[in-house]
Amino acid sequence: MKAKERMLDLSGLTFLVVDDNRDVRSMLREFLRCFGAKKFLEADEGADALAIIDHKSVDIVITNWEMRPIDGLELVRLIRRQPTAEKRTLPVIMVSGHSTAANVRLARDQGVTEFLTKPISASELYKRVEEVILRPRPFVRAPKYIGPCRHRHDKSSYEGPKRRTQDDDLYAATAT
């Protein structure tokens, strides 16, 4: 991040940090605090995170992939099947040390919004937070996928045949 760039105002957002390692949760919370965030919720595994999401207002979830008994991928699957659009469309930043192309695709295909590779740096975390705030992707639901649109670039000027074979099954999460 360049020194002259203006930072986002994160003071009104609530972050849910989910990791089975207390030190990692603390580090993520401290990075977010340095970015101006003031509201944090924490969980050490997916089931606890779901309970928080059910009872509290959360704006962004940052979760580790590897946890037990409910890992980060299962947490994302369960979030994407929440009954309300507000909860179902939560931005989720997945953190993992296993950042192979196959794992990044798997996370994307499960509905992860952004992927962050360990070791975590403050600047890379900020980029992911900035991405979900400034460039949110439309949310889609199809028979085999629920989550943010997997295409990063807006091709609204595209006038050719459908890009997906099941475009008719896609809908905006805000629709009832």
Hey, what are 62's tokens? Answer: 């940052």
| Contact predicate 16/62, CB 8 Å | yes
Give me the pLDDT at residue 163, please. Answer: 53
Distance of alpha carbon 53 from alpha carbon 166, whole angstroms: 30
Distance of alpha carbon 170 from alpha carbon 148, whole angstroms: 11
Give me the pLDDT at residue 159, please. Answer: 60
- Segments in the chain below pLDDT 50: 1, 3-4, 165-176
**What is the SS3 string spanning 121-147?**
CHHHHHHHHHHHHHCCCCEEEECCEEE
Domains of the chain, with CATH numbers? Answer: 14-137 (3.40.50.2300)
Give me the pLDDT at residue 144, please. Answer: 84
